[in-house]
Chain A
């Protein structure tokens, strides 16, 4: 799991404080650190790279505009809340609300020009397919914990009790493992 370490959190908080004080370079650094995580979450949620990038751009714009509203805590969790809302806005706009269409893994994943090996590309497509089979609620919880958010933060973002987050993550893991067991066992 890609946990956001304590040091990373402290660095993000420090950058956020500097950006709030008007340090443009700090905001650039902040965006560079979180944008990849936001995009990963948005891609997993929307399952469409172009829409995900739109959502992240919108989220970064909102983060920039409302940065002075941020109160020190978890900048990443705050950012994830914003990108989740942006994803919902995009989903509503695209008519995906409650009927999110199932799409094939993004084409760029299979782009042979990337440095990934064919084996890695195939694995990644399978991972995205497995992720796509989860219910939206389970996928959101899993994607947020992949980004290193704590249960309490995920619960706040999703508006559910912590116990519900625990349950969702357990079921997500069981389902993902069942589908990806050969990859899980690969390096034994």
Chain B
């Protein structure tokens, strides 16, 4: 036995880590003065800790990446674009075409190097872009909570982002899983991994998936979601490195027997994954 019947093992462990409150710490010291079992455990756990001391002295070399100031990046990008434009104009002249047209008519000019069109009285056509079908409003930086309906289980979700969503910057997403059923709902999920947050680009390709988990061991535990008591997790993820339109959604991998409605657990409704509608957001 690690401890006697008086003291909880978790408290003794917290004492070793100096994590008890002042009063509890003193009470534990008093107890240890008279309890050989607990005193021996404290000594052994402290010795156990010293076994891991060699695990920290391994500094490794790191060379910080070269940081190009923003103004220099702007100048570099502008210079490259200017060279492209000049090259396109020269090629167009040599080939006898109008400026802006390459000699070979079969090669389209990337829009990024097209010269600025001559102003016209007619309004410019509005660029059309295929948006994924959405039923929820887009997330604005530091927005209020955004709701997302889902399918595959009696759940819904809410998301809230903190801070501006800029490329390659850490963003904080608070996501909550709500119960839309009349009864409490239980399901088995990996320890700590209530659900995944999935980010996709505008083609639907998965860019990143993040769980609040280190439950690689496959341990599972039963979660119960009651009405009005959502399961909330906070995710800190790195925004996609390319500016553009993305979506965020929540996925809940469910292991058989999937979920059951409490208080009468039974076979439950068999589903593989609950997922929410994709909520669009832009990365600058």
Contacts and interface: CB of A to CB of B under 8 A. Distances in A.
A140 B18 CA distance: 19
Contacts of B71: none
B60 A39 contact: yes
Given A35-B59, A85-B236, A136 B53 contact: no
A100 B216 contact: yes
A109 B16 CA distance: 29
Given A65-B168, A136-B215, A56 B60 contact: yes
A124 to B, nearest CB: 7
A140 B192 CA distance: 12
Nearest to A19: B64
Interface residues of A, number: 67
Contacts of A129: none
A24 B204 CA distance: 41
B19 A159 contact: no
A68 to B, nearest CB: 10
Interface string A77-114: 00001001100100110001111100000000000000
A88 B210 contact: yes
Interface in B205-252: 209-219, 233-234, 236-238
Contacts of B12: 170
B56 interface: yes
Contact of B52 (A2, A96, A120): A2
A63 B2 CA distance: 40
A88 B209 CA distance: 10
A151 B15 CA distance: 12
Nearest to A172: B13
Contacts of B64: 24, 27, 60-61, 64
Interface string A118-156: 001001100100000001110010000111001100000
Interface string A1-25: 1110000000000000000000010
Contact of A40 (B17, B58, B211): B58
Nearest to A166: B10
Contact of A36 (B57, B168, B190, B213): B57
Contacts of B50: 1
B222 to A, nearest CB: 15
Contacts of B65: 61, 64-65
Given A35-B59, A170-B10, A1 B215 contact: no
A51 interface: no
B54 interface: yes
A98 B51 contact: no
Interface stretch (B40-48, B83-91, B129-137): B40-48
B60 A36 contact: yes
Contacts of A146: 49, 52, 55-56
B270 interface: no
Contacts of A56: 60
B209 A92 contact: yes
B9 interface: yes
A147 B17 CA distance: 12
Q: Name the residue in A145, A183, A184 with the highest tally of chain B Cβ atoms < 10 Å from its Cβ.
A: A184
A32 B59 contact: yes
Given A37-B56, A97-B216, A180-B48, 11 more contacts: A1-B16, A36-B57, A36-B60, A57-B60, A137-B191, A137-B217, A147-B56, A150-B19, A167-B10, A170-B10, A184-B48
24 contacts: A1-B52, A2-B52, A2-B53, A27-B64, A32-B59, A36-B57, A36-B60, A37-B56, A57-B60, A62-B238, A64-B64, A69-B170, A88-B210, A98-B217, A136-B217, A137-B192, A146-B56, A159-B192, A160-B192, A166-B14, A169-B10, A169-B14, A173-B48, A174-B2
Q: What 3 A-B pairs have minimum CB-CB distances, sorted nearest first?
A: A1-B49, A159-B212, A170-B13
Interface of B: 2, 9-10, 12-14, 16-19, 44-60, 62, 64-65, 168-170, 190-192, 209-219, 233-234, 236-238
